[in-house]
Structure 1
């Protein structure tokens, strides 16, 4: 049996040819390059890959992502990196991890050249900015994070954003990215679109970007507009932050657009009709209305009657009977109240309201129930330097002025007669309904002693005795019987001009003087120690002279008897 020979097997090659053929098998398997391989075996800790080389390569299992391992199957094609064609044991060393990274770098370089977006996840905060994972670690400078400075950088960690590569160096492994560049591009596109369609009178939506004392800035889509505080509401706005928060979406009206400066004025209240139009017809004076207290000031309470319309209840219009020092003692924010329209100023956009007018006026009751001269009884509510306030059952306080406390006694302070909570009687003197004042008298409970009693008791020329009550620069006040005061003028004290009254007279001293004047209209009694002393001296002299004459007469009779001339005992 003849055997056919294989020409290829039988072909003889020289040594040079064989060497060339051997080298050709390594031509496509250079170290440091990426090639495609096929999974031929999956073991516990490694994956065997055939790249068409004389030997198969091994990739450690830890180079595969956790979500890749369950789906890995024999026959799968992989991009691998040739690290070594032969290690010390003659094995082919492959790396999937390096192949993936080289592929990522290639894609990043393409994205950089073509200015494409890349997705990245912020992984940490570092000095000067943030570290972001875009497949490789990239640096995000702080100035490139947003259009405006970000206060809470830590709050970005873990979030994913689109970025733009602004610098890349594969050899050094450096990548610098920017989020701001993309935001600026987006803003500019929106700005152009917004400006192309913007017109005065147009309704447009915006996002509250910033809030100030004078208004709120809205992002209208790449361009900002100002919603001034005066254009927020037809009613009163304390502060824009009371109405909005940053991030709120609002539909507003374009009031003015200056193309040269780019300034845009916005309005919110202009979306609805002005509620102050024909306000006088809607809220006639004298009508009773209902509202809600929205704010308090030292001088009153603002009450919302409807959205955009507020009225003021002044503190003086809150109570008929009590002096309201602060509205918080009567109402609180949020209270629903009834009030009466007192005055409407449509041009000034003001409405004056009254709360007390919704209840009966107690001054009408007082005027009808207590005519002037009526005796009343009440409790002392308070004592001041000028008088005592007496509370009546109707809730009104009347004043007993210090001048109406005593006909005769000089009252230094009302507390000498009245104490708080003390019940007293008084007489109605005057009722002033307009000024809401009630004047009472205490001394009027008894007849005026100056009309009859005092003039008859203290007649000019009579001598009286009293107690020193007060010493002044111009004289001495003396308390007489019946709580009447008399004045000894300094010229009537009988002292020379060099003497000081305090050195001669003491409080509490008993003193006798002569009544020199009684002024009923002025209710004053003038006394004189000087005249009293002169009169006493004259009386003493007359008494002395009288007694001296009797002595001389007795001596004469004795002399005659001695001479023997008898005189009858009774002539």
Structure 2
């Protein structure tokens, strides 16, 4: 160290001397400018200047302080060549080798053969714990000489320049590298390998699961590079691979010593839902969940814990695949071998539900002894589809042993056998015609199933739900879980079937509907729904009727809308089919026909009255005079005016009920000078009965009453005066009212 320092000091002095000599040399080589001669005799000042110049010319600038000459030009050149040959050419941004010539706690001094040494931080040598003077290392020349004249070196950059090549070579060759664990990250650790950050997954730290990653931070460890990504420059290392290499070498030795049935000791290394892995001292074996306990368990953690030391038996092993199957329950006796004699067919035993499947439930009688209760053996009900509706895991239940096979370790159990079959007394408990209440268990397209008692289910057909409504699906009438009153319609004990009905609890209203909704009767109805075929109409008493598309046209040609209330005429009634066909179109078309017929009848009456008056005048008058002719002309004009007013009165009377005090209206005129009164026409037939009394007849409403008035029927007396010929005449005028209907009204009028 001291020798190197002396050499550096001497070199610096020589460099300084050389630089000064070169400066003076350049100064001395400058040519002197001669002054022009002004006179032959110099002045005193000039003499002094000449004397000074002569003195400088005699001075030896190459002499040292002692007055001795140093080196000649040739000697100086030789010395410069020899001095420069001691330096190595230094190029920035390149990796060079250097020797450690000094170091302390913070820095390391490195000589790379340049005129000055460089300093490198001690932290960049943390991967070399035994760093010493004289060690040769590679450094990166960052700056050859900065503003302060310092040489800037970096070992970290030197390593980075060569790190990726070293990592790729180590991965290809499979060699072991040493790295420094810098910090913890998500899922593993960050490891510095060749000053390059690599990733160590948590699963690659050790062969055993590692729970505390922080214990490895700040340590130097050996690793194996297992994955290199050239594109993203990602590197994955593994410490577990080194351990596994050692274990693989030991597996062959361990497997050669194993035998089936051998009992060995191991440590629970890892735990999964299907079993646990046991470390047998260098090799792992699988202890499946079914081989842990004779009883049923859902997870190995119910019996074992991590790091437990247990005794296991070798069940099987595969030399090629190096797999070992272990067993724990095999170290104890099988529970079926210790089954007592009190468990036999027909005996009643209790147990706990340990599993529920689609086909049944498993009942644990004792640890390791289970029996199956099939879904058909749970309840006498034939509609139990899913065992989970009847049993749950953990339930304590009483069962009866149906079958027992100790050799095959199978047991069949039943629950419904503990109670009496309810179908034995079905005819006594649920006789035909009796009324009961039940709970709706299931809904189908053709009906619903009702549970009257546990094990007793009956079917209520969709047609037996309501008398009035047309139900397409039971969900329109009730819902699952609802309580419904029914009556027993039919009992089939052999096939275990029960037919039930709900609408039969009430009398058949269609017997009464037959007398109310007679053909031709008019009723108010509310539109429930419409479609392409027609509309469903809600009539009185909750009965539904149907109006075909051709019968639901309105007078204003507007379509029917839901919840609209209109008058409908019954055009068809079927008690057996429970069907009513109604029409709204017939009502307004019938009113139009009635108005036309009333107008025609009035015209006929006017013509008849006119002819009678003319005939009477001809009889009373022998001669015709011009004055009489004028009176006759005035009378004709009066008849025409009366005819027009009569049409208006008839139309108004068809649309309004006739007043009870309506009498006979007559027109009188004074003819000629005699001023005698002559009857002209009768506008409306006199009536003394109340017109509203027609509504007391069945099926007669405001619209039907108008139609009857148009036929000349204004009171109950008119109905009583009808005979067969009159009825036939009215049927021919209005075919919508049948002769049977007229006869019914005559009988009702008699009773009234």
Give the TM-score taking structure 1 as reference length.
0.52
What residue in structure 1 maps to residue 543 of structure 2? 484
How far, CA to CA, are the matches of 2:588 and 2:610 in structure 1?
33
What residue in structure 1 maps to residue 487 of structure 2? 427
What residue in structure 1 maps to residue 507 of structure 2? 447
**SS of the counterpart of 2:604?**
helix
**Among residues 552, 557, 569, which one is paired with 1:513 in the alignment?**
569
**SS of the counterpart of 1:291?**
strand
Does the CA contact (< 8 Å) of 1:190 and 1:221 recur in 2?
A: no
Does the CA contact (< 8 Å) of 1:189 and 1:222 recur in 2?
A: no
Does the CA contact (< 8 Å) of 1:199 and 1:254 recur in 2?
A: yes
How far, CA to CA, are the matches of 1:492 and 1:151 in structure 2?
84
What residue in structure 2 maps to residue 198 of structure 1? 258
The answer to whether residue 521 in structure 2 is matched with residue 463 in structure 1 is yes
How far, CA to CA, are the matches of 2:472 and 2:392 in structure 1?
40
Does the CA contact (< 8 Å) of 1:320 and 1:356 recur in 2?
A: yes
Does the CA contact (< 8 Å) of 1:471 and 1:501 recur in 2?
A: no
- Please report how far the alpha carbon of residue 195 of structure 1 lies from its aligned counterpart in structure 2 after TM superposition: 5.8
How far, CA to CA, are the matches of 2:574 and 2:460 in structure 1?
25
What residue in structure 2 maps to residue 210 of structure 1? 270
**Among residues 519, 528, 531, which one is paired with 2:583 in the alignment?**
528
How far, CA to CA, are the matches of 2:322 and 2:301 in structure 1?
25
- Please report how far the alpha carbon of residue 470 of structure 1 lies from its aligned counterpart in structure 2 after TM superposition: 1.5
Alignment of 1:379-458 (within 5 A): 403-409=463-469, 425-429=485-489, 440-450=500-510, 452-458=511-517
Distance 1:266 1:422, change over 3 A: closer
**SS of the counterpart of 1:426?**
strand
**SS of the counterpart of 2:616?**
helix
**Among residues 552, 555, 561, which one is paired with 2:610 in the alignment?**
555
Does the CA contact (< 8 Å) of 2:526 and 2:563 recur in 1?
A: yes
How far, CA to CA, are the matches of 1:492 and 1:542 in structure 2?
23
Distance 1:149 1:342, change over 3 A: closer
Alignment of 1:250-289 (within 5 A): 250-259=310-319, 262-271=322-331, 288-289=348-349
- Shifted more, 549-558 versus 361-370: the winner is 361-370
Q: Which has the higher strand share?
A: 1
Q: Deviations over 1:468-498 (max 9, x none)?
A: 24241233333334433222211112449x9
What residue in structure 2 maps to residue 306 of structure 1? 366
Does the CA contact (< 8 Å) of 1:204 and 1:253 recur in 2?
A: yes
- Please report how far the alpha carbon of residue 311 of structure 1 lies from its aligned counterpart in structure 2 after TM superposition: 3.5
Q: Deviations over 1:160-210 (max 9, x none)?
A: xxxxxxxxxxxxxxxxxxxxxxx99xx999989966753223333444333
Q: Which has the higher helix share?
A: 2
**SS of the counterpart of 1:406?**
coil
Distance 1:190 1:423, change over 3 A: closer
**How large is the Cα RMSD of the aligned pairs?**
5.7
Does the CA contact (< 8 Å) of 2:275 and 2:289 recur in 1?
A: yes
Does the CA contact (< 8 Å) of 2:566 and 2:584 recur in 1?
A: no
Q: Which has the higher contact order (CA 8 A, sep 6+)?
A: 1
How far, CA to CA, are the matches of 1:363 and 1:215 in structure 2?
49
Does the CA contact (< 8 Å) of 1:315 and 1:327 recur in 2?
A: no
Distance 1:296 1:422, change over 3 A: closer
- Please report how far the alpha carbon of residue 304 of structure 1 lies from its aligned counterpart in structure 2 after TM superposition: 1.1
Does the CA contact (< 8 Å) of 2:570 and 2:580 recur in 1?
A: no
**SS of the counterpart of 2:467?**
coil
Does the CA contact (< 8 Å) of 1:428 and 1:439 recur in 2?
A: yes
Unaligned stretches of 5+ residues in structure 2: 1-180, 184-204, 216-242, 622-678, 680-752
How far, CA to CA, are the matches of 1:358 and 1:408 in structure 2?
45
Does the CA contact (< 8 Å) of 2:553 and 2:559 recur in 1?
A: no
Distance 1:493 1:344, change over 3 A: farther
Q: Deviations over 1:193-246 (max 9, x none)?
A: 966753223333444333233322334455443223343345544333233223
**SS of the counterpart of 1:501?**
coil
Q: Deviations over 1:442-462 (max 9, x none)?
A: 320123234x44445444x43
Instruction: State the number of aligned residues.
Output: 394
Does the CA contact (< 8 Å) of 2:526 and 2:539 recur in 1?
A: no
Does the CA contact (< 8 Å) of 1:466 and 1:478 recur in 2?
A: no
How far, CA to CA, are the matches of 2:363 and 2:528 in structure 1?
57
How far, CA to CA, are the matches of 1:236 and 1:423 in structure 2?
41
- Please report how far the alpha carbon of residue 291 of structure 1 lies from its aligned counterpart in structure 2 after TM superposition: 1.7
- Please report how far the alpha carbon of residue 511 of structure 1 lies from its aligned counterpart in structure 2 after TM superposition: 0.2
Alignment of 1:67-466 (within 5 A): 148=208, 151=211, 198-233=258-293, 236-259=296-319, 262-271=322-331, 288-295=348-355, 301-313=361-373, 327=388, 333=394, 335-341=395-401, 353-362=413-422, 364=424, 368-376=428-436, 378=437, 403-409=463-469, 425-429=485-489, 440-450=500-510, 452-459=511-518, 461-466=519-524
Distance 1:563 1:347, change over 3 A: farther
How far, CA to CA, are the matches of 1:422 and 1:189 in structure 2?
73
Q: Deviations over 1:42-61 (max 9, x none)?
A: xxxxxxxxxxxxxxxxxxxx
Structure 1 or 2, whichever has the larger Rg, is 2
Does the CA contact (< 8 Å) of 2:441 and 2:451 recur in 1?
A: no
Does the CA contact (< 8 Å) of 1:388 and 1:418 recur in 2?
A: no
How far, CA to CA, are the matches of 1:127 and 1:493 in structure 2?
90
Distance 1:367 1:501, change over 3 A: farther
Unaligned stretches of 5+ residues in structure 1: 1-125, 129-144, 156-182
How far, CA to CA, are the matches of 1:330 and 1:373 in structure 2?
35
- Please report how far the alpha carbon of residue 558 of structure 1 lies from its aligned counterpart in structure 2 after TM superposition: 0.7
- Please report how far the alpha carbon of residue 303 of structure 1 lies from its aligned counterpart in structure 2 after TM superposition: 2.0
Give the TM-score taking structure 2 as reference length.
0.41
Does the CA contact (< 8 Å) of 1:468 and 1:476 recur in 2?
A: no
How far, CA to CA, are the matches of 1:226 and 1:538 in structure 2?
99
What residue in structure 2 maps to residue 78 of structure 1? none
What residue in structure 2 maps to residue 564 of structure 1? 619
